[in-house]
Homo-oligomer: A and B are copies of this chain.
Amino acid sequence: MKRYAYPNLADVPMSAVMHALADPGRLEIVRQLLQQVGGECACGEFCESLSKATVSHHMRVLRAAGLIQHRAEGAKSITFLRTKEVEKRFPGLWKLVGRKGGKI
């Protein structure tokens, strides 16, 4: 599996995080991860309505925003949230995103 470079959360501007979450597809991915028991999920299990290429693109954006990280597991790439780091840099973000109710 590929090795990525993950940004230091301190260097991620809030606008970048907002931009990452501004796409309904990406927001859905993050919410799916939030609901996951271990906070993990394989890439292919997201957004079955989108092509592999598109999902891969979304992952890149979320990665650049410092929100997710990957772990190789055989041929699979397991995605998980950078829970603690993000919470420290942007307190309340996870709670906000995970909130239910209202439209999308």
Q: Show the binding face of A for B, using Cβ within 8 Å.
A: 9-15, 18-19, 21-24, 27, 89-93, 95-97, 99, 102-104
Neighbouring B residues of A12 by C-beta, 8 Å: 102-103
Q: In the complex, A91 Cα to B101 Cα: how many Å?
A: 12
Neighbouring B residues of A10 by C-beta, 8 Å: 102-103
Do A104 and B15 touch (CB < 8 A)?
Answer: yes
Do B90 and A99 touch (CB < 8 A)?
Answer: yes
The contact of A22 among B15, B91, B96, by CB within 8 Å, is: B15
Given A92-B96, A96-B91, A96-B92, A23:B15 Cβ within 8 A: yes
Q: In the complex, A103 Cα to B89 Cα: how many Å?
A: 10
A85 smallest CB distance to B (angstroms): 12
Q: List 4 A-B pairs, minimum CB-CB distance, nearest first.
A: A19-B22, A13-B104, A18-B22, A92-B92
